[in-house]
Amino acid sequence: MSPAERTTVGLVIPGPAHRIGVEPYFAELVDGIEEVLHPLGCSVLVLVVPDLTAELATYRRWSRDGTVQLVVVVDLLDDDVRPGVLTDLGLPHVLAAHVDSPYACTSDVADDGTRLTEAVRYLARLGHTRLGHVSGPAHLVHTGERRRAISRAATDLGVRVETVEGDYTAGSGVDAVGLLLSRPLRPTAVVFDNDVMAVAALEHLTADGRDVPGDVSLLSADDSPLCEVSVPPVSAMTVDVHHRGHRIGRAVLAVLAGGHARQPPSPPSQVVERGTTAAPRLVAAESGG
């Protein structure tokens, strides 16, 4: 019998249930994990909880009842207590992040930084020198990685960037872009840490009579079907979430077999140019565009 057979893997998704229902990321991620694990007789139990307290209570219940044999941890936090709690409970785990741990499976967080660097380079090539950045929650490890990457890239290229914190919801994207565009030196392009915030901002600006990308370019750091079907379609950085799920699934198998979780790096991210990015009007006018 393989180590995965008759094994249940638990995945707790923190955050409001309505966010999970709107955002396609987790559905694609779980689908990728299951595609690797199900053929080997391993099932995946997914639970959405409102906060960290509820998540830790779930782990304790799972450990006590023997519900799951391994846990996948997503959205790593600064000074995260969850790996320590799982170790104390005797629950093997895989961390879907790039941190210093044998249980960390991927370079996904490092890839997050690379994506933001490439986003800045792309917008700078178009002629943008003032950028806005709508980040995810500041306490997440990958948010810090993204903020540091976009700041370094902006400094290297002589580009000004201002970051406003969002929480991945549509409303926070709308609020953040409104705040950025109210500045005296407003950005000519805005990068969003996820697709939901970018698409919501686009819909709000279009309804308000703003020209996208004429007045402001919008770029999502996460690509998804939402970006493809919006009007106009949203330019985005490539990210294969389904492939991420595959890598997490392979990390789970490695840990169940007694090994470490590390997986090879992901392919580099690239810009998918659609209808929401263009040269700023001043640059376009000077070049005769």
- Residue 139 counted as domain residue: yes
Residue 264 falls inside a structural domain: no
pLDDT band at 289 (very low <50, low <70, confident <90, very high): very low
So what's the pLDDT on residue 2?
Answer: 64
The tokens 């020209």 sit on which residue? 211
Average pLDDT over residues 190-210: 96
CATH of residue 156's domain is: 3.40.50.2300
pLDDT of the residue at 101: 75
Please give the average per-residue pLDDT across 166-187, as a whole number.
95
Residue 188 covered by a domain:
yes
* Predicted pLDDT at 265: 73
- CA 42 to chain centroid, in Å, comes to 26
Is residue 284 a contact partner of residue 278, using CB atoms and an 8 Å limit?
A: yes
Per-residue confidence band for 3, with pLDDT thresholds at 50, 70 and 90:
low
Better-predicted residue by pLDDT, 279 or 144: 279
Cα 237 to the center of its chain, rounded Å: 11
At 106 the pLDDT is 61
pLDDT of residue 228: 94
Residues 115 and 216 reside in one and the same domain:
yes
Q: 3-class secondary structure for 128-195?
A: CCEEEEEECCCCEHHHHHHHHHHHHHHHHHCCEEEEEECCCCHHHHHHHHHHHHCCCCCCCEEEECCH
> Same domain, yes or no, for 136 and 214?
yes
Q: For residue 252, give its domain range.
A: 8-107+240-256
What percent of the chain stands above pLDDT 90? 67
Residue 286: what pLDDT?
Answer: 46
User: Could you give the percent of the chain with pLDDT greater than 70?
Assistant: 91
Q: Give yes or no: residues 209 and 279 share one domain.
A: yes
Residue 229 clears pLDDT 50, i.e. is over it = yes
| Cα separation, 278 vs 261, whole angstroms | 41
**pLDDT tens string 77-123:** 888 999 999 999 999 999 987 777 777 776 554 477 888 999 999 99
Are 92 and 256 spatial neighbours (Cβ–Cβ below 8 Å)? yes
CB 96 within 8 A of CB 74: yes
What's the rounded Cα separation, in Å, for the pair 236 and 192? Answer: 9
1 is a domain residue:
no
Is the predicted pLDDT of residue 57 greater than 50, yes or no? yes
Instruction: For 22-50, write each residue's pLDDT tens digit.
Output: 567 888 889 999 999 999 999 999 999 99
Q: What pTM was computed for the model?
A: 0.81
Is 90 exceeded by the pLDDT of residue 194? yes
Query: For the chain, how many structural domains are there in total?
Result: 2
203 and 249 in one domain? no
Inside any domain, residue 49: yes
If asked whether residues 64 and 155 sit together in one domain, one would say no
Residue 85: CB atoms within 10 Å: 17
Q: Measured between alpha carbons, how far is 187 from 164 in angstroms, rounded to an integer?
A: 12
Looking at residue 17, what is its pLDDT?
A: 67
**Residue 178 and residue 13: Cα distance in Å, rounded?**
29
Of the two residues 91 and 260, the one the predictor is more confident about is 91
- Find out whether 211 and 194 touch, Cβ atoms under 8 Å: no
Note the helical H segments in 215-278. Answer: 225-229, 241-256
Residue whose pair of structure tokens reads 């929650």 in the numeric block? 137
pLDDT of residue 162: 97
The pLDDT, as a whole number, for residue 31 is: 93
Q: Which of 52-56, 219-223, 226-230, 284-288 has the lowest mean pLDDT?
A: 284-288
Q: For all residues of the chain together, what is the average pLDDT?
A: 89
Q: How far is CA 73 from the centre of its chain?
A: 14
Pairing of strands 130-135, 235-237: unpaired
